[in-house]
Structure 1
């Protein structure tokens, strides 16, 4: 990309700085794209030519202020309609942390895009307009964030400048959301009053709201504790690729490449390969930079075993005394993402970690009303953007954990084999009904 960074000084990253993935969600026009644009602008993480282009577009449109939302709304339809349609990913860093932002759509029509963007997030920022308070999409996205087991939620009350920086408005909305959140499975919630347009409480503390004694948004993002969010107990290593170069230099080289999905792997550890059940010990662990003494989620590594076992793509290494659930009858919550409804007897391809199987829907238990959390148990199908509980039967066993225990080994996607389109995202429950 051309242009120079607005910052004159290079960012001095701390060694081994953590990566935080977060998503923005909420209703249309609550200011998600503007908030991200403000974060990028105030942390000097945009290029001069990018800013110049946004200023030019804002001037041509007659905007009173530079429209920072244009930094993330890149599609022509998004700019014409003034809404976010697709998920936009942006990257920036501070001395404390690296960040990946997923700017997700607020419109109900694009709920499936919101699920996609939030599925890998460590933290979700739920924005609400201070003038409107908690609306249907605020509840919908908060529930989805809870369903996706996002461990940290920041509830940002935006556009405080339009309500005269009134503390009473903020406290009323905070109380309303706390009441709704009591029905959800959310561990950590922070409340921050902000003005994304003017930058109040985004990067620096606002002088307009002295009654707010908490930290600004960026400070919270830099300091929220995420290291304990990963499952460091259950060793899970789905094999993605078997590396056999068979070269003169390495005639006996056999390594198993993949991403650590749980626990800690060390040379000398005893492991069992599923589905074969054969055991061995880890001989060594390699990364792109060379051998390491241990590997943990989400590191990409090559594992070497002391014995030549029959291990292939889709198999899983784990501890002999701590194995995942092995089964073909699955119970799951799914978000349906296709125009064609999901019905019992539907046959689809299912991808779980590195394993592909075929699956048939055996039953639809209920559809959830994400506003009231009511379960409708008399539905014959799930439509576009519906969330419901279903049962599946697969052609081969999966090695999985409950989603609340491990978000990687507890999730899957469903694919329509005729179109190769991803039609659902699923979260596995503990045991089939």
Structure 2
């Protein structure tokens, strides 16, 4: 094993090609339907008639690896953040749809013939959710978040894109966390508390350090996954208690005008969710087999990063937990939203993906509502890295497939 493979976080960042020298770049600040401000970067090249919009609910994709690849093929690229990029403590997906809508309105006002969305990783579910809600009659769109917060999707302008590209989309942040969360946590306030019977990193349960694959028994896998769901249910219950307490304080303040009630309503109730890098498939490569390397999205040593600061859903408000991270409460679930994707679509699966496994890809493609949909696979890891050292990157291979599809559909 090379030293680079041993580093925590190895393989997450991919070198990208250079953008064409003819690229023209402009930065734009947009106002959403509910008055928030979001920013985006438009890059275009001479003759571009189709623009590809790239977004993620919580990451800044200004320098996404596909940007120069698409520009080189003659397409304009719009990269945009949501209202709180790189900080998902208060990420409410229903609000993020208003951010997406602001970008789509802006692009419709530009001189392009076609607007196509491109969702990579969590951006896939964000755009599937947007397509679903944009395609619904305004009166049938969501009016509240899972926490009961009012959201005005009914009055928002939500243009429907002309096409949809999905590259290595995972099934949604809630669905992803359901498979990642460590169910051996006994006490939510104690990051070191462990139920030995459910510890995924105990050799007694089948764990093996890299480069050796672990071997978990079918009985352990079944118990583990059931316990993961129970932990999500427990955190959901706490989140709903926090939401109810804040709601009660708001009602009290409406009657009393007492500053104490107002402060109680405003006080953030932050959930700290420990140990969320523990999908059994990270260390047992016989589960959902594909060409992925040993390890998680964050490192080759999930047994270590699972205990660290970095991880999905680590700090979150109750509203954001229910909207984004709870598989049992979120509206942002790829398979549930996919029937609303009715425009021409392409789904690019990466054969070494550590977040979208083969059975996930099959379910997601089957769920897409489009009658014109393509499903292709290329060698690569989730973030677009190569399968083996020296091989072409998954991003470059995906770009070739995407470029050919765009040319065939939109010229």
Same fold (TM over 0.5): no
Scaled to the shorter chain, the TM-score interval is under 0.3
TM-score (norm 1): 0.26
Structure with the larger helix share: 2
Relative contact order: is structure 1 or structure 2 higher (C-alpha 8 Å, sep ≥ 6)? 2
- Considering only CA atoms, is the larger Rg found in Structure 1 or Structure 2? 1
TM-score (norm 2): 0.28
